[in-house]
Amino acid sequence: MTPAAIAGSVLGPIAAGGAFVYYACSVPTSQVLGEALVRGPAGRPEVALTFDDGPAEPFTGQVLDILRRYRVPATFFCCGKNVARLPDLVRRADAEGHTVGNHTWSHPLLYFKGRPAIEAELDRTQEAIQKVTGRAPVVFRPPYGVRWLGLFPALRARGLADVQWSDTGYDWKPRLDGAAIARLVLAKLRPGAVILLHDGREPREPGNVDASSTVAALPSIIEGARRAGLEFTRVESFLPGAV
Ligand SMILES: [Zn+2]
C-alpha cells in the first residue's frame, strides 16, 4: 500500500464516523439519537408555525398581534432566560391560545454536554415557564437543532417531546427581507409542515435583537398558506397519539 492508501484506509472510517455523528446530532430530520417530530401527518391540510429564541421586545408582541388578527395558533420555543426577563409576553402567548415550549435556558450548543448540564438547562426553563403559565411545557426544541447523547433520556424523564422542523424561512440571516422569507417558506410548503421562524435571537441583550423581517413576512406566509388550502395548528397536535 502506498502511504496515501494507508492514510486513506485509516482516515476514511474516521471521516465516515465523523460524518455519521454529524448527521445523528445535527441534521434536523435525524432520528438516530431518539424520536423527533419533523413533520406532521401528510393527510391533514394543516401546518404548524413555530417561533424560536423569544420572547423579545417588540417583536413577540407584534407576532402575537398578527396571529390574533388572522386567528392563527402557533408554538413559541422560548429561552428560559428571556422568559424570566419578559414574562408578560409569555403570559400573553399562553392566554391567547398558543403553545409555549422549552428552548433551553441559555441557548447552548449541546455537543459534548453532560447529562447534568443538559438537565439544568431543561429544568430551569421548565420552572421559569411554569411560573408564568401554570403549566410545564410538553415540547422542546434544541438550540440549532443539535441533539446530544444525554438529551433524549432527560427529555423522556420530563415528558418532553423533541420537535425539529421541516421548513424554514432562514429568517436568522440578516440580509433576507420579509418578502424573501415568505417566498422561502411558501416555496415547498405542504401538509404537515413544521415551519421554523424566530421572534427573538437567543438570550441577547435587549437592543441587539432584530426580528423585524420575520414580522414583515408573517402576513404573507399566513395568506399564502391559506391560498394553498392549508390551515394552522399548534405543533403538539402533530405528535403521535395527539388528537
Ligand atoms: Zn434557537
Lowest-pLDDT choice from 16-25, 49-58, 83-92, 149-158: 16-25
Highest mean pLDDT among 19-28, 150-159, 199-208: 150-159
Taking the C-alpha atoms of residue 185 and residue 197, their distance in angstroms, rounded to an integer, is: 9
Domain boundaries, position 149: 37-238
Q: Which residue has better confidence, 17 or 239?
A: 239
- 103 and 165 share one domain: yes
Is it true that the peptide bond before 58 is cis, omega within 30 degrees of 0?
Answer: yes
155 and 229 in a single domain? The answer is yes
Are residue 19 and residue 94 in the same domain, yes or no?
no
Residues 6+ apart with CB under 8 A from 49: 67, 72, 74, 75, 195, 197, 221, 232
| Cell of residue 223, nine digits | 395568506
Which residue in the block uniquely carries the three cell numbers 422569507? Answer: 181
| 24 part of a folded domain | yes
Residues 121-133: tens digit of each pLDDT? 999 999 999 999 9
Is residue 180 within 8 Å of 187, Cβ to Cβ? Answer: no
Q: In the predicted model, is pLDDT for residue 1 greater than 70?
A: no
243 within domain boundaries: no
**6 C-alpha to ligand 1 centroid (Å):** 42
Q: Does 184 lie in the same domain as 93?
A: yes
Shared-domain flag, residues 23 and 55: no
Q: Is 65 a catalytic residue?
A: no
Q: Cell for 202?
A: 437567543
Cα of 3 from ligand 1 centre, angstroms:
44
pLDDT, residue 29, reads: 80
Specify if 9 maps to a domain. yes
198 is catalytic: yes
Q: Rounded to the nearest whole angstrom, what is the distance from the C-alpha of residue 56 to the centroid of ligand 1?
A: 13
Same domain, 83 and 3: no
Q: Write out pLDDT tens, residues 220-235.
A: 999 999 999 999 999 9
Q: Which residues contact 145 (CB under 8 A, 6 or more apart)?
A: 26, 27, 28, 164, 165
- 204 and 228 both lie in a single domain: yes
Quote the pTM value: 0.91
C-alpha cell at 106: 441559555
Please list the alpha-helical segments (H only) found in 3-150.
Answer: 3-26, 59-70, 80-85, 87-95, 115-133
8 and 124 housed in the same domain? no
Q: How far is ligand 1, taken at its centre, from the CA of residue 11, in Å?
A: 34
Distances in whole angstroms, Cα of residue 113 to Cα of each of 146, 148, 202:
11, 7, 18
Q: How much distance in Å is there from the Cα of 75 to the middle of ligand 1?
A: 13
Give percent above pLDDT 90 in the chain: 74
Would you place residue 10 in the very low, low, confident or very high pLDDT band (cuts 50, 70, 90)? low
Of these residues, 98, 103, 107, 198, which one is catalytic? 198
Q: How far is the CA of 107 from the centre of ligand 1 (A)?
A: 6
Same domain, 93 and 116: yes
- Which tens digit of pLDDT belongs to each residue from 55-98? 999 999 999 999 999 999 999 999 999 999 999 999 999 999 99
Shared domain check, 131 and 75: yes
